[in-house]
Amino acid sequence: MKQSRSVRKTNMRTCLIALAMGLLAACDTHAASKPTGHDYPAKPIRFVIGPSPDLLARIVGQKLTESWGQQVIVDARPGAGGAIAVEIVSKAAPDGYTWLMTSSSIAINQAVYPNTSYDLTRDVAPVGLMATIPFVLVVNPTVPAHSVAELIKLARAQPGKLNYGSSGNGTAPHLGIEWIKTLAGVEMVHVPYKAVPPAVIDLLGNQVQLMFVIAQAAVPHVKSGKLRALAVSSARRSPALPELPTIAEAGFAKFDITGWLGVHVPAGTPVSLIQRINAEINRALDVQDVRARMLAAGMDTATTTTPQFGQFVRNDIAKYARIVKDAHLKIE
């Protein structure tokens, strides 16, 4: 039976409406797959950690989990000097669900090793700084120096006689002393160790006479009189040892060597989403018990905007590359 013209028009209209509704549904599904400021986060977040302690990631992750109702899962990938962690995150979807904890050690590796497989300014996008970790310049009590000026005077009078320890070649404590040597024009002998504890043991035993140590490791020995603290390496005094001057205050303007921890995400992550993550992390860092736990672990809370952190990382990489060049170091 042939359909009347009016029935055919009605059927066509029905088909067009169904087609339009299908297209709208498809658009809605596609839109829902993209993170927005309103529905983020809608699933757990993977927080990849490179060659850094995971304490801060767990502290902040716990606060964000409580706030969001979505778990922040810490995934430690410490191998290859940070290259593994950077590669994992750089290849992840830029949807805000994979984060990278970056650190000064990852930036230093990029600065001092020309064949590093990653580039923090290209492969990942900055979110924000979380913490800085100042170092304390300490000497064995047998060293007749009670200030940086006296230490430099001693080094000039006895070139090559003072040994300084570090946690390894190309680390911040190593390059910090090398920077002082270049600025002051003195000679001291580097004794690298594979970790901080054996270096501190030899410092206590006067096998090495000085080194940069994080405040958490230095303070107990300084308070007991087993080590003497001369200055802190950061641009500002440390809350852990507020009475100590900075290296800059001791006469080396613009000297600033600090460990740091921050967050990056895959390149291409929407700016609005990065800003949302930055704001939430900064809010978690501002909680009093978080700040107290960080201070107890030798970390100073540090928050930035995303552009500030991006510039901070670029400056840090350039600084260490300059130190290596000026000191004529060959780090292998």
- Placement of tokens 């001369």 in the chain: 230
Question: Is residue 152 located within the same domain as residue 124?
Answer: no
Q: What is the mean pLDDT of residues 58-87?
A: 94
User: Which residue, 198, 232, 266, sits at the end of a domain?
Assistant: 232
Q: What is the mean pLDDT of residues 250-260?
A: 93
Q: How many CB atoms lie within 10 A of CB 45?
A: 20
Kindly report, residue by residue over 109-166, the tens digit of the pLDDT. Answer: 999 988 889 999 999 999 999 999 999 999 999 999 999 999 999 999 999 999 999 9
Between residues 276 and 39, which one has the greater pLDDT?
276
Identify whether 287 is part of a domain: yes
Q: How far lies 257's CA from each of 4, 19, 100, 221, 320, in Å? A: 86, 63, 22, 21, 9
Q: What is the pTM of this model?
A: 0.85
Of the listed ranges 4-8, 37-41, 299-303, 322-326, the one predicted with least confidence? 4-8
Question: Is residue 123 located within the same domain as residue 189?
Answer: no
Give the pLDDT score at 37.
Answer: 54
Phi and psi at 57, nearest 5°, equal: -60, -40
Q: What is the mean pLDDT of residues 299-304?
A: 93
Domain that holds residue 101: 45-132+258-326
Kindly report, residue by residue over 199-222, the tens digit of the pLDDT. Answer: 999 999 999 999 999 988 888 999
Identify whether 242 is part of a domain: no
Contact 300, 88 (CB under 8 A): no
Average pLDDT, the chain: 89
Give the domain CATH number at 57.
3.40.190.150
> Can you spell out the DSSP letters for 147-171?
SHHHHHHHHHHSTTT-EEEESSTTS
Give the domain CATH number at 224.
3.40.190.10
Question: Is residue 198 located within the same domain as residue 128?
Answer: no
DSSP H or E run through 133: strand 124-139
DSSP H or E run through 100: strand 98-103
How far, in Å, CA of 116 to CA of 6, rounded? 72
State the distance between the two ends of the chain, measured CA to CA, in whole angstroms: 88
Percent of the residues in the chain that have a pLDDT greater than 70, as a whole number = 89
Identify whether 208 is part of a domain: yes
Identify whether 245 is part of a domain: no
Both structure tokens of 109: 């590796």
Identify whether 269 is part of a domain: yes
Give the pLDDT score at 238.
Answer: 86
Question: Is residue 282 located within the same domain as residue 301?
Answer: yes
